[in-house]
Amino acid sequence: MRRRGFLKKSSLLGVSISIPSSFAVSLEETRTNFKNSPIVIATWDVKNATKKAWEVLKDGGSSLDAIEQGCMVEEANENNQSVGKGGLPDRDGNVTLDACIMNPEGNCGSVVFLKNITHAISVARKIMEDTPHVMLAGEGAEKFAYSLGYLKENLLTEKSRASWLEWKKTSKYKPIINIENHDTIGMLAIDNKGDISGGCTTSGLAYKMSGRVGDSPIIGSGLFIDNEVGGAVATGLGEEVVKTVGSFLVVELMKKGNSPQRACEEAIKRIVSKKNSNYKDFQVAYIAINKKGETGSFSIHKDFSMTEYRNDTNQNYESNYFNY
């Protein structure tokens, strides 16, 4: 997809803001859903996941059910080395999962450092619905999953084990931009009632330090929903998303009147404009949807994409990005 430069003056926040001429904006303006019909969007090229979510919505299911079932598709996909079973391990060789989910009422559930359970998104939902808590971690989260009837699984596949053993030869610890064009799976959905839900699920940064947690399970960073406004999810280097509470920021910008596209662009600008930012060395991307069904996506670097299912069409769009 081609790019063009921003105007140097913008009114993203209702005031005049100076924006570097290197900041790029989409040629394709925000896509709008003029019908009150369901929509699913997700980070990266995950058409099987959005297809499953769409099927739930088309049958009259809730946006929350669609999010859970859509995310479960990628969690079970062993070829996806950034989510669920088959995810790349930490530097000690352990696969640990993070996930969160949020419903239209503003309730949320989260799981961090979960081992031996493939469907972290489902455990997060049960935390939201069946406990007085928002987040469970480590052994406590695993015990809770077993109490629900989940069986212990070895999440480290031969493919991911081979990748880890190859990494150990040098043990270089540096985030790889768009590793395999994949990362956190973030998903947002609007159902037939117009209600919005969202979810994130990931195995985290490859070869991370044991115990590391990124943005994905943190409400407001990896995911945020305001059913009166819209929702947003993040992907990329979680530490940088956490520093700006990225998904909450995107939704707040929409609340102030910005389109999802403009809101995603401003959230990326907050990262790259920080003093001494080393943004050339990492990727962060956002996708967003508002109550009208308008969507947007933006990233620091090229090759990020968003999958969108609406009006019986399941498409992947290359995102526009910051042009440094």
**Residue 91 placed within a domain:** yes
- Higher-scoring residue by pLDDT: 177, 282: 282
Convert the pLDDT of each residue in 73-107 to its tens digit: 999 999 999 999 999 999 999 999 999 999 999 99
Q: Name the amino acid, one letter, at 159.
A: K
**Do the Cβ atoms of 262 and 226 come closer than 8 Å?**
no
DSSP three-state, residue 284: strand
Q: How many domains does the chain have?
A: 1
**Residue 14 placed within a domain:** no
- What is the separation, in whole angstroms, between the first and last Cα of the chain? 17
**Residue 223 placed within a domain:** yes
Quick one: average pLDDT of 172-188?
A: 72
Helix (H) or strand (E) holding 114: strand 108-114
pLDDT at residue 32, as a whole number: 52
Q: Is 184 a catalytic residue?
A: yes
Distance set, CA 165 to CA 169, 176, 177 (Å): 7, 17, 20
pLDDT at residue 36, as a whole number: 66
Rounded-to-integer distance, Cα 241 and Cα 285, Å? 9
Q: What one-character DSSP code corresponds to residue 219?
A: B
Domain, as residue range, for 245: 34-321
Q: Which of 184, 202, 235, 295 is catalytic?
A: 184
Give the contacts of 37 (CB within 8 A, at least 6 positions apart).
192, 310, 311
Residue for token digits 């943190």?
Answer: 218
- Higher-scoring residue by pLDDT: 224, 15: 224
**Residue 243 placed within a domain:** yes
What tokens appear for 78 in the block? 């062993």
Angle at 32 between CA 30 and CA 34, to 5 degrees: 165
Neighbouring-strand partners of residue 188: 41, 198
pLDDT at residue 182, as a whole number: 54
**Residue 219 placed within a domain:** yes
Give the contacts of 206 (CB within 8 A, at least 6 positions apart).
81, 82, 88, 89, 163, 167, 176, 179
Convert the pLDDT of each residue in 100-124 to its tens digit: 999 999 999 999 999 999 999 999 9
Q: What one-character DSSP code corresponds to residue 50?
A: H
| CA–centroid distance for 95 within its chain | 19
Rounded-to-integer distance, Cα 86 and Cα 48, Å? 17
pLDDT at residue 171, as a whole number: 84
Helix (H) or strand (E) holding 260: helix 260-272
Any idea what the CATH number is for the domain that residue 45 is in?
3.60.20.30
194, pLDDT greater than 80? yes
